[in-house]
Structure 1
Amino acid sequence: MTDLTALKYTAEHEWIALEGDVATVGITAFAAEKLGDIVFVELPGVGSEVSASAVCGEIESTKSVGELYAPLSGTVVEVNDAAVDDPSLVNSDPFGGGWLVKLTVDPAAVADLLDHAAYAELTGGPA
């Protein structure tokens, strides 16, 4: 089980786990629940440059089509092909097997993101 209090969050309902200069990014359980059953995930390619707050992918559910925003600027070093092949992973295990991309980032940029308490306050409950 991922320690949710150790993660950083965005107001767009993404979580970030930082290890060195690599940030693993996914959407929160709150977002996955609001989206409903996720049926399609489109992610940027490995080697792509992404900019903070810019659209970098798409998540489609039975309820809606949503854009995925890059929480930080960086270079995509890995995508979760398992989540692309089986988008339901994002619903069933958003903080584990349902992660989306890994980016190389400036670790200092993570300081500007929300901590767990601030994200919980934003959503009115847990992540």
Structure 2
Amino acid sequence: MSENHNKSPKLGKLLTSHRQPGANFDLYDSNEPYPTVFVDGYAQTLIGPAVSKVSFFVTEQVIDDGGGASSGSTLQGVEERVVNLRMVIPTRALAEFCIQTLNSIKQGEASISSMADQNKAFLKLIP
């Protein structure tokens, strides 16, 4: 069988080939443009038996809530968050994504910690 057995025009560069029980696939980068969306965090999750929906947000601005130290409030302001992406994904795939993400973070713990230390050191340099 040829290396590129699916001649779909959407197939681009082969990113990875996976061959093991339960995960037998080739992953290609699309030749067609697809969106890259920045998010600040997630807003809501709706977990269903078949599919789940995850909503992500960006922070537009932080407004002063009028409180502050004089009123005894510990709030610094109110973030205005706007949902900018809603992802619908099979629940099993979402669970696998979460597990793999946590495993990747754990594996990269030393470099993540090192980067955080570097950022702290940099912030101390700011007058």
Shorter-normalised TM range: under 0.3
- In terms of fraction of residues, the more strand-rich structure is 2
TM-score, length of structure 1 as denominator length? 0.26
TM-score, length of structure 2 as denominator length? 0.26
Higher relative CO (Cα under 8 Å, sequence separation at least 6) belongs to 1
Which of structures 1 and 2 has the bigger CA Rg?
Answer: 2
